[in-house]
Chains A and B, each alone.
Chain A
Amino acid sequence: MAETHSLQDLRQAAVASKVFVQRDYASGTICKFQTKFPAELESRIDKQQFEETMQTLNNLYAEAEKLGGRSYLEGCLACLTAYTIFLCMETHYEKVLKKIAKYIQEQNEKIFAPLGLLLTDPIERGLRVVEITIFEDRSIGSR
């Protein structure tokens, strides 16, 4: 993961605790995270802000897994070439994952790091949880 200076400051700070936002399976097996605001973050971040971040993440994952014309076209083309195009081409899902990684980094830099929080990209945890690391409350200079 690329680190900016403000994130690197966080690395030197002590980890107070970690909060895990689990998956929401009510809509089936698609990748979706619970938007319920965890109690541990109440003192740190605005509820609205957090829910907005989670909702955007969920929308991005929904876009990655959407069954539409584009994914069918990709699937059929792959089938005709005996799936060898997966070796050369980047799939739609991977492109969206890159978008998600960029979004999470932006959110960390702009919103979470100044509040002493760090969002971990769910792909690093096997898309099981969104891990939010809470750092000890020190004044951390943000850039």
Chain B
Amino acid sequence: MMKNREYQQIDPQALATPTPTPPPRPLPEHDLKPKRARRKWEVFPGKNRFYCDGRIIVARQSGVLPLTLGLILLTSGLFFVFDCPFLVKHLTSCIPAIGGVLFVFVVISLFQTSFTDPGILPRATPEEAADIEKQIDNPTGSSSSYRPPPRTKEVIINQQVVKLKYCFTCKIFRPPRTSHCSLCDNCVERFDHHCPWVGNCVGKRNYRFFYTFVVSLSFLTAFIFGCVTTHLALRSQGGNGLVFALQASPASALELVVCFFSVWSILGLSGFHTYLVAANLTTNEDIKGSWSGKSGNEDVGNPYSYNSMIKNCCSVLCGPMPPSLIDRRGFVPSDDSVQTSPVEVKLPAAKNDINMCTHGTKGLLETASRSPLLTSSCPQAKPQAAPAVLEPLPEVTPSPALEPAKTTAGRQSTSTPHKHHSHHRSKGKQASHHTHKTSNSSPRPHHSHSSRRKDSKNRDPKFSSLR
């Protein structure tokens, strides 16, 4: 107490005396630091990678996208180089033209599926998350007759009861048809599945690209298969035999093998997705049997369907293109004016109340708080040291909406990498097994794709092997 009084007595003189170095020091440092405004993709909390300054977004693991692209380029290349000249001479020059158009469609739609934001929902800001937490704890928020488990909300859509689940990672109640992809660590709207062949999730925004890709690829594969068969048939005419034809054009043999194995699964997949489009369903809903009455409910039907195949197709494929909600190329609001003014206010107050030692450490803490935010460039380099520094600071710097979000993202994503890797490995193997299986048996080869959900207990016994 006596010490404080002493300092209070000294204060007016201390303010008058020019000890200019402590107060202006944080400000010139702040001005001298290169004020590079950061774009939002650089601080994105999900497991995605960005290229071309945020224009291109891909999942963290590219999956087998290089393989998909390689197979398409190789087979098409061999077709144009080895089969087309013969067919143009003996049949018509329309063949490379049609093949060319199909090839262009396939490659463009593949790139668009892989590099487009599938409909990622940005995570809740801290204030939003706090507001939702308040509503959950409030017992009047939960509904009606039987007590649902906590963290679910019920809505009635088109006379159907739909349960909305709370996402612990994104801290929001997921909108209907939204699911959390554990591979990409994002909630994706109208989540269909995570496709390893294109290395991205398939959701609301890129489903039409995916559908175009699958359909055009099935046409291309069937077209190449047909043309190569015709080529070999023409060559083996005149008593030469198939072996001679194969020897004369060995590339055709390779194309034949690739196309034969792909055409069944891809044709089946496009048939399956045509069914989904006509019924306005997602792969996720179909596998879980949300609307088909498998889970025991009798009076269920798809509440999102327009009950007209044509209208369903039109709305899914030709509907308005929703915008990307994550605003990758927008700039992170730096809130400089808000940050500097409290510093200015605080320092004289600090000098009044506290002795010079604690003021010194507080100044150190403030400058340290700014440096992790400005210097850490890679959002996926989880700054383990930073949370310890940032923790006590929210009361010092008022509105750093990003810092708590980053620390929580950093903490949570550390727990998932090993799980993510094992899923990816098993899925890679599983995908190759499934394509072989589907070529033999089922008319619905949707098993070659897996739908990833973070907190679902997968009731479907067919997928127990995926775990």
Within 8 A of A (CB), among B150-170: 155-158, 162, 164
Partner of B320, one of A22, A91, A127: A91
A71-B319 in contact (CB<8A): yes
B320-A66 in contact (CB<8A): yes
Q: Is A82 engaged at the interface, CB distance under 8 Å to the other chain?
A: yes
Chain A residues lying within 8 Å of B122, measured Cβ to Cβ, are 125-126, 128
| Shortest distance from the beta carbon of B350 to any chain A beta carbon, whole Å | 20
B127-A26 in contact (CB<8A): no
- Tell whether A11 pairs with B338 under 8 Å between CB atoms, given A18-B127, A28-B157, A83-B109: yes
Bound form: Cα–Cα A72–B318 in Å: 5
Chain A residues lying within 8 Å of B311, measured Cβ to Cβ, are 67
B320-A28 in contact (CB<8A): no
Bound form: Cα–Cα A11–B323 in Å: 28
**Number of residues of chain B lying within 8 A (CB) of chain A:** 48
Q: Is B104 engaged at the interface, CB distance under 8 Å to the other chain?
A: yes
Task: Please indicate which of the listed interface residues A15, A27, A83, A86 has the most CB atoms of chain B within 10 Å of its own CB.
Answer: A83
A83-B318 in contact (CB<8A): no
Chain B residues lying within 8 Å of A129, measured Cβ to Cβ, are 128
Q: Tell me the interface secondary structure of chain B in the complex.
A: mixed
Chain A residues lying within 8 Å of B239, measured Cβ to Cβ, are none
Partner of B177, one of A20, A29, A84: A29
CB-defined interface of B114-127 with A at 8 Å, one 1/0 digit per residue?
A: 00000001101101
Within 8 A of B (CB), among A1-46: 11-12, 15, 18, 20, 22-23, 25-29
Chain B residues lying within 8 Å of A72, measured Cβ to Cβ, are 314, 318
Q: Is B105 engaged at the interface, CB distance under 8 Å to the other chain?
A: yes
**Number of residues of chain A lying within 8 A (CB) of chain B:** 40
Chain A residues lying within 8 Å of B208, measured Cβ to Cβ, are 75, 79, 83
- Tell whether A25 pairs with B212 under 8 Å between CB atoms, given A67-B315, A76-B318, A86-B321: no
- Tell whether A83 pairs with B108 under 8 Å between CB atoms, given A25-B175, A29-B190, A76-B318: yes
Q: Tell me the interface secondary structure of chain A in the complex.
A: mixed
Chain A residues lying within 8 Å of B164, measured Cβ to Cβ, are 25
Q: Is B380 engaged at the interface, CB distance under 8 Å to the other chain?
A: no
* In the complex, residue of chain A having the shortest beta-carbon distance to the beta carbon of B316: A75
Bound form: Cα–Cα A22–B132 in Å: 10
A82-B104 in contact (CB<8A): yes
* In the complex, residue of chain B having the shortest beta-carbon distance to the beta carbon of A27: B157
| Shortest distance from the beta carbon of A20 to any chain B beta carbon, whole Å | 5
CB<8 Å pairs between A and B, sample of 14: A18-B127, A18-B131, A25-B164, A25-B175, A26-B155, A28-B303, A67-B319, A71-B319, A75-B318, A79-B212, A82-B108, A97-B323, A127-B325, A129-B128
- Residues on A facing B (Cβ under 8 Å): 11-12, 15, 18, 20, 22-23, 25-29, 64-67, 71-72, 74-76, 78-79, 82-84, 86, 91-94, 97, 123-129, 131
